[in-house]
Structure 1
Amino acid sequence: MYGCHMAQSATDTRTVLLDAALAELLAHGVRRTTASDIARRAAVSRQTLYRYWPDVQSLLAELVTRELFAVVPREETAASLPDLVDDMVRTAERIRDLPLVQRLRATDPELFARYVFERLGTSQRGIQRELARRIGTGQADGFVRAGDPDRLAAFVLLIAQSAVQSASLIAEWVSPAQWREELAAALTGYLVPRGDEP
C-alpha cells in the first residue's frame, strides 16, 4: 500500500512539474524558461525536478510529447476513407492550434522545428504507430490503397507535419478552412485505392 502511495505521489509530482513547465513556456518562451522557474511555479525544489529529468531540455521534450499525444485520438476505427481522412485532418488541426505549438512557432521557431519535427522522438513514433494501425484497418476494409502500412503512415505523418509547420507561412493565400480542405485532398489522394487494385 505504501509503495502504491509513493508511485501515485511520484506521478502527481511529475504532472505538476510538466504543468508548471507548460505555464512557464507559454508565459516566457523556451529560452527564458529555467529549471528554477519551473520548480518555483510547481512549489518544489530544483533537486526534485532533477530527480525526474537530467535537464530542462529533457523535461520540455516530454512536455511536447504529452501535449501532442493528448490530441491524438486512439482506439477508434474509421468506417470509410472520408472518415479516416477527417480524423487525420482534425488531429492535425488540433496540433496546429495547440497553445504550446503556437508559442514555439512564434517565439522559438528553431526550437519549434527541433522539438516537434526534426527529432524522431516518442511523439512521432507513437503517432506513426497509430496511423499505421488505422491505415492497416482501412486496407483490411478495402478503402485504403495497398502498401506497407508503416511506409504509408510515415508519409501521412510527413504530409501532415509539413502542413502544420508551414500553416502560418501560407496564411496569406490559404484560410484555415481552406487549409483543412487542401490537407484532406492531399491525404485522400495519397490513400485512395488505385484503379488496378481489387
Structure 2
Amino acid sequence: MYVCHMADGVTDTENAILDAARDEVLAYGIRKTTASDIAKRAGIARQTLYRYYPDAQAVFAALVTRELVAVLPVAAPSAGTLDELVAMLVSTAGAIRRMPLVDRLRETDPELFGRYLLERLGTTQRVIVAETARRVAEAQRQGAVRAGDPERLAAMVLLIAQSAVLSAPLVAEWIAGDDWGAELSVALRGYLGA
C-alpha cells in the first residue's frame, strides 16, 4: 500500500501522486492534465488523490515546489567567498534551467510562469530567498558580499536569476551554452560584490 510516511514528512502516496503528475505534465502539459489522469497514472482512485490535494492545481503547485526545491543546494556547506557564492547561485540556476519540467511548462503553459513572475510569490521563491539571504548574510560576515539587508539582496538575486532562467531561450542567439552561466556570474558578482 502507498500510505507509509517517509522521513521527509511526505507519504509514499503523495510522492506517487506527484510523480504521476510530473509524468503527465511532461507528456501533455498542465492544461491537458486532469486529476483523473494523475490518479490513473499513480494507480490510485481519484478520491484518494483528493484526500491529499483539493484539486489538480494544488497538485501542480506541490509538484513544482518539490522539483525546484530538490535542485537547491543542501544547507550545510557555506560559500566563504564571493566567487564560491556566485558559483553556487549560477550552478543552481543552471540546474533549474535544465529541468525538463521547466522546459515543458515554458513550452505548454507559459501563463503559469507569468503568474509567478508578475502576480504572486510561490513557496519555492520564498524558500530560495530565505536560503539565499542566509548565505548572503554569512558571506557579509566574512566581508565577501557588500553591506545591505540580506533579504533585500536575496530578493534581487532571485529577480536576476529567475529572469535569466526563464528568459534564456529568448536570447539564445546572443548568449548560448556555457556563455549563459558566465554572463549570469558577471551580473551576480557585480551586484553582490563588496
Following superposition, the deviation at residue 117 of structure 1 comes to 6.7
Give the Å deviation of 1:116.
6.8
Q: Does 1:69 align with 2:84?
A: no
Q: Check conservation: 2:4, 2:12, Cα contact below 8 A.
A: no
Equivalent residue number for residue 53 of structure 1 = 53
2:41 matches 1:38: no
**AA partner of residue 132 (structure 1):** A
Q: Which residue of 1 aligns with 2:105?
A: 104
Amino acid at match of 1:49: L
Q: Which residue of 2 aligns with 1:186?
A: 187
Shift of 1:74: 2.4
* Counterpart residue number, 2:178: 177
Q: Aligned letter for 2:143?
A: G
Other-structure match for 1:196:
none
For 1:110-160, what per-residue CA distance to the aligned partner results, in whole angstroms no more than 9, with x for missing partners? 123335774301100001000000000000011000000010000000100
Compared with structure 1, are the counterparts of its residues 118 and 184 closer, same or farther at alpha carbon in structure 2 (3 Å cutoff)?
Answer: farther
Which is worse superposed, 9-18 or 28-37? 9-18
Aligned CA RMSD, in angstroms, stands at 1.7
Q: Distance in 1 between matches of 2:144 and 2:60?
A: 38
TM-score (norm 1): 0.91
Identity %: 59
Residue 189 of structure 1 aligns with an amino acid whose one-letter code is: G
Question: Contact conserved, 1:89 with 1:183, CA < 8 A, in 2?
Answer: yes
Structure 2, unmatched stretches of 5+, are none
Query: CA 1:116–1:91 in structure 2 vs 1: closer, same or farther (change >3 Å)?
Result: farther
Partner of 2:131: 130
Aligned to 1:119: 120
CA radius of gyration, larger in = 1
TM-score in terms of structure 2 length:
0.93
Alignment match, 1:152: 153
